[in-house]
């Protein structure tokens, strides 16, 4: 049998973004406080992005993600711009640094690669836009954070429903196609969260309808 997730509580805290798992407590520490949120108007419409992911240098596999900009326009604008790289930085070339089977895969730290970095397109952290959508199923896309109103660029994809995260993390999208890629990511996860293989976002961007 796999090592119980409660074993994670014995690992020294990481200076990483906060995600709470009911069987392991607060497994992550803080990545800093909130900075500038940034204002502006954002498209209130759904859109799609893609991520081409390789595992251990293998053939790229594509995930297509539906972003619910009609409900979370600011959060979706941030994620979409990080996919396109239009601000001069973003997800391309970064890796999923934390993968826990039966829980989630976390990525988006394109500056440090270990859960301590990343940044939003707004120049700092930004507020939790809302909690209208919830962590209901496999493939849900949600923001990782280090507490209330500390969103940057780190995100996670759920491997199952995680209702204990409702009201703590802003859900803003879901995998529309490529759930088999989640299977491949989950297969190289560990109870400690350190992947057994490099899971890299080789390419990413926006998709036209």
30-44 per-position pLDDT tens digit:
333 344 444 568 888
Alpha helix locations (H) across 122-170?
none
CB contact burial 150-173 (16+ within 10 A = b; e otherwise): bbbbbbbbbbeebeebeebbbbbb
Look up the pTM and report it. 0.84
154-209 pLDDT per residue, tens: 999 999 999 999 999 999 999 999 999 999 999 999 999 999 999 999 999 999 75
Kindly report the number of other CB atoms within 10 A of residue 41's CB atom. 8
* Euclidean distance between CA atoms 150 and 55, whole angstroms: 29
98, 122, 154, 172: the catalytic one is 98
For 52-95, write each residue's pLDDT tens digit: 999 999 999 999 999 999 999 999 999 999 999 999 999 999 99
**Nearest residue to 180 (alpha-carbon basis) of 138, 135, 134, 143:** 138
Q: Can 112 be counted among the known catalytic residues?
A: no
Catalytic residue among 106, 154, 155, 185: 106
Give the residue from 176, 181, 186, 205 showing the smallest Cα distance to 91. 205
Tell me the CA end-to-end span of the chain in Å, nearest whole number: 45
The residue annotated as part of the active site, out of 145, 155, 157, 185, is 145
Residue of higher predicted confidence among 146 and 4: 146
- Told to judge if 106 belongs to the known catalytic residues of this protein, a careful annotator would answer yes
**98 an active-site residue?**
yes
Active-site residue 61, yes or no?
no
């Amino acid at each position: 049998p796999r090592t119980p997730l409660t074993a994670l509580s014995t690992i020294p805290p990481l200076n990483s973004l906060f995600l709470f798992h009911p069987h392991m407590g607060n497994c992550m520490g803080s990545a800093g406080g909130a900075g500038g949120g940034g204002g502006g108007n954002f498209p209130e419409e759904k859109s799609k992005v893609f991520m081409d992911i390789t595992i251990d240098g293998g053939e790229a596999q594509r995930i297509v993600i539906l972003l619910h900009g009609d409900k979370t326009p600011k959060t979706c604008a941030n994620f979409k711009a990080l996919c396109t790289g239009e601000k001069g930085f973003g997800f391309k070339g970064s890796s999923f640094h934390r993968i826990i089977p039966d829980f989630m895969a976390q990525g988006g730290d394109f500056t440090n690669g270990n859960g301590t970095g990343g940044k939003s397109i707004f120049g700092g952290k930004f507020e939790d836009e809302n909690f209208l959508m919830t962590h209901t199923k496999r493939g849900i896309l949600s923001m990782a954070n280090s507490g209330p109103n500390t969103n940057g660029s780190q995100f996670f994809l759920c491997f199952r429903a995680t209702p204990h995260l409702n009201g703590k993390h802003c859900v803003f999208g879901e995998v529309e196609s490529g759930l088999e890629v989640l299977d491949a990511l989950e297969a190289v996860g560990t109870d400690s969260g350190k992947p057994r293989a490099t899971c890299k976002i080789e390419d990413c961007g926006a998709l036209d309808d």
